[in-house]
């Protein structure tokens, strides 16, 4: 199966600050851009997975026993209704965080998969891994070929539409180690993935689309934060898989 059935452009589709410390180079063998930023590195492949594979991924993530994949407005499904839907391949859930003494539902659905015993805690939420399935292992193995790293877990985020979002944070939990390599794969709606320096002096907006791969590495998590802001004009779902290594 040809991962690179759709040609990648050799002109990077987003702007980098035109100051010292930034550089970009196209890697023909990997079909993507190697990007250096102050205190970090990125790899960006706009169409890492072909449209055929990416379309199938959307079906795979949403297959269930009750609701239509293409006609359901997931925004209108209540948490109670959602809890009664049996998804065939992915065990979706909606966690809550404690904020000012109140329990606030996350503005997205999540799922955690990985090797046995690779628990993960973020924002006060502890997740025990679901067992790997064939589809997720396929994506993991393809990403590992480019990342040059073996991953033992993946955090899945389902953004139902542009109202779902991810606040500013860094993936700097101690379970991830000193300078973690994190590979982010995206399917569905294109959303802006924004990174900014901790002192807010520099910012980059990176469009992550259907089949896009972004790898973060080096010291990035210690000097930069990232977010997925709301986008009122986005009506489709976006699925993000971030492959990690839990120590």
Q: What is the pLDDT of residue 222?
A: 97
pLDDT digits (tens, 9 = 90+) for 78-118: 989 999 999 999 999 988 777 667 777 788 999 999 999 99
Is 116 domain-assigned? yes
Is 240 domain-assigned? yes
Is 152 domain-assigned? yes
Is 90 domain-assigned? yes
Return d(Cα 125, Cα 141) in angstroms, integer: 27
Q: Is the pLDDT of residue 233 over 70?
A: yes
For residues 223-230, give the mean pLDDT: 98
Q: Which domain, by its residues, includes 81?
A: 50-212+236-244
Q: What is the pLDDT of residue 126?
A: 80
Q: Is the alpha carbon torsion for 30, 36, 40, 45 positive or negative?
A: negative
Return d(Cα 156, Cα 132) in angstroms, integer: 12
105: CATH: 2.60.120.590
Is 133 domain-assigned? yes
Is 197 domain-assigned? yes
| Residue 177 DSSP SS3 | coil
Is 205 domain-assigned? yes
Q: What is the pLDDT of residue 99?
A: 67
| Residue 51 DSSP SS3 | helix
What are the φ/ψ torsions at residue 200 (nearest 5 degrees)? 65, 20
CB-based contact 45:212 (threshold 8 Å): yes
Q: Number of folded domains in the chain?
A: 1
Is 20 domain-assigned? no
Sheet containing 166-169, strands listed edge to edge, beginning at the edge strand earlier in sequence? 166-169, 224-228, 191-197, 203-208
Q: Is the pLDDT of residue 73 over 90?
A: yes
pLDDT digits (tens, 9 = 90+) for 17-57: 999 999 999 999 999 999 999 999 999 999 999 999 999 99
Q: Which residues pair with 103 in a beta bridge?
A: 98
- pTM of the full structure: 0.92
Q: What is the pLDDT of residue 96?
A: 73
Q: Which helix (H) or strand (E) holds 56?
A: helix 51-62
């Amino acid at each position: 199966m040809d991962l690179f059935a759709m040609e990648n452009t050799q002109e990077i589709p987003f702007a980098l600050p035109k100051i010292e410390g930034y550089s970009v180079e196209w890697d023909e063998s990997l079909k993507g851009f190697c990007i250096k930023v102050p205190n970090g590195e990125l790899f960006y492949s706009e169409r890492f997975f072909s449209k055929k594979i990416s379309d199938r991924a959307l079906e795979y993530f949403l297959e269930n026993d009750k609701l239509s994949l293409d006609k359901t407005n997931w925004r209108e499904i209540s948490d109670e209704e959602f809890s009664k839907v049996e998804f065939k391949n992915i065990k979706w859930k909606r966690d809550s965080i404690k904020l000012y003494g109140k329990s606030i539902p996350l503005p997205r659905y999540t799922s955690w998969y990985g090797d046995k015993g690779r628990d993960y805690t973020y924002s006060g939420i502890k997740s025990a891994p679901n067992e790997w399935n064939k589809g997720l292992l396929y994506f993991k193995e393809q990403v590992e070929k480019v990342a040059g790293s073996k991953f033992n877990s993946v955090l899945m985020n389902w953004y139902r539409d542009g109202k779902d979002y991810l606040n500013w944070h860094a993936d700097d939990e101690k379970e991830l180690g000193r300078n973690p390599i994190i590979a982010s794969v995206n399917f569905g709606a294109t959303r802006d993935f924004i990174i900014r320096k901790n002192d807010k002096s520099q910012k980059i907006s990176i469009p992550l689309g259907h089949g896009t791969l972004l790898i973060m590495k080096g010291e990035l998590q210690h000097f930069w934060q990232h977010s997925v802001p709301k986008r009122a004009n986005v009506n489709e779902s976006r699925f993000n898989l971030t492959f990690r290594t839990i120590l």
